[in-house]
Amino acid sequence: MATIEECRAALDKLSHTMGGAEGDVRAAAAMDRTVSCHITDLDVTFAGRLTGGRIEVEDTFPGPPRDRAQIRLAMAGDDLVALVDGELNFAGAWGSGRVKLDAHLLDLFRLRKLL
């Protein structure tokens, strides 16, 4: 099972990757939205913003998200690490329910370019 530190490192790696993206991926990442990522097996939530093409984690706290972020993710820690490392396909994980993504429909269309 991934640790909180490994999950935070995975989010930092994802943010760095997004920050270096170009073209359509860069445009999709340029949204300004609140974000939460609930790690279900650790029962911890990372909360922050998607802004400037990067994810900025502002808070980490136990339990489910306290506020309703505009983009909400939920998954096991191992799945987060595997997604960021390219070992797990997002579409397949989302389709099977391993990863949950909740956002406004227009945001989902933009996010699909990232994922």
pLDDT in tens, 38-68: 999 999 999 999 998 889 999 999 999 999 9
Check: CB of residue 84 under 8 Å from CB of residue 1: no
To the question of pTM greater than 0.85 for the whole model, the response is: yes
Do 36 and 46 form a contact (C-beta atoms < 8 A)? yes
Q: Contact at 8 Å (CB) between 75 and 100? A: yes
What is the token pair recorded at 4?
């909180």
69-115 tens-digit pLDDT: 999 999 999 999 999 999 999 989 999 999 999 999 988 888 776 66
pLDDT value for 114: 65
- Measure the CA–CA gap between 52 and 35, rounded to whole angstroms: 13
Listed residue (79, 111, 107, 72) closest to 93, CA to CA:
79
